[in-house]
Amino acid sequence: MALDLAMFEGHPVNTAAAKRRCAQIEARRTVKKDRQAAWLLNAVRLIDLTTLSGDDTPDRVRRLCAKARAPLSDRVIAGLGIDPTYARVGAVCVYPTMVGPAVRALEGTGIPVASVATGFPAGLMPLPLRLKEIEYAVDEGAAEIDIVITREHVLRGNWSALYDEVAAMRAACGDAHLKAILATGELQTLRNVYAASMVAMQAGADFVKTSTGKESVNATLPVSLTMVRAVRDYDMATGHRVGFKPAGGLKTAKDAIQWQVLMNEELGRPWLNPDLFRFGASSMLGDVERQLEHHVTGRYADGSRNAMA
């Protein structure tokens, strides 16, 4: 849609109220037994299993893809009584040069390959080069592109520049989905987070995402609540559903449940599916599997199976 400043300019964001709302979620008793297992099993489906290291190699990516194909042990799968294909992760996320090996390793599984692009994580490259990087990743077979925005546009309130940038990236993605990383830890205020979310959605983002995982502050519940409410407001105004992806700092099974509770209460059950919600939290998978192992066997796994690369 066209840039519509009226949808976000002057929109109040009550930081204290957002923190109180999130404290309610954090203070609740966690679900137990079969219900906990159901929430955790769903969390596996929502994870973008990721490696974004300077020493990534095709062999490491292939090992990560093997984990993506079978994130839970045979014992846990049997104990839960589920089809193994149900427990596969939402996507595998890599750098553009690793997209080809990932696509080949996941052939026939239906698991999409996501690629960061646009000068990840800082995004401080000329726009034509960032667009070329998107095109390269898509040509290699990436079905999803995680782009980073220019934070300066948000900090200066230059919404037309941000809109034009994201719209150009959306066009470069072609049929691939675009996840717009806002780097919320660098945007200073929740009002900026709300506005940046709205602009990204207006420019065609399929998902809005909190962080690169490289900032000093990544996904938090108040930031997530602000972005989720922007998604809700956008859906109510346009009838178009946009996904949400918290990333960075989410490590535990408790995190997996808390963020799903947030999505369920603020947006509803459709946002508990991989087409509208993802976790950028590879390390979370180890604790989720550990808790599911305990649910099935009464014992905790030793952790050796959870070494992915």
Residue 164 among the catalytic residues: no
Q: Which residue is catalytic, options 48, 67, 179, 209?
A: 209
Residues 22, 28: Cα–Cα separation, whole Å: 10
Instruction: State how far the Cα of 39 lies from the Cα of 139, in Å rounded to an integer.
Output: 36
Q: Of 223, 291, 222, 293, nearest to 251 (Cα)?
A: 291
Dihedral pair phi/psi, residue 178, rounded to 5°: -110, 125
SS (HEC) of 188-225: CCHHHHHHHHHHHHHCCCCEEECCCCCCCCCCCHHHHH
Q: Is 214 within 8 Å of 246 (Cβ atoms)?
A: no
- The DSSP symbol for 249 reads S
Exactly one of 67, 179, 206, 245 is catalytic; which is it? 245
Whether residue 146 lies in the annotated active site: yes
Quick one: angle between helices 15-27 and 221-238, nearest 10? 110
Q: How far is CA 33 from the centre of its chain?
A: 27
The count of other CB atoms within 10 Å of the CB of residue 289 is 23
Name, in order, each residue with C-beta under 8 angstroms of 196's C-beta and a sequence gap of 6 or more.
Answer: 149, 154, 162, 182, 187
Catalytic residue among 146, 206, 255, 287: 146
Instruction: Match 């294909």 to its residue by tokens.
Output: 85
Angle 53-124-205 (CA atoms, 0-180°, nearest 5)?
85
Residues forming the active site:
146, 209, 245
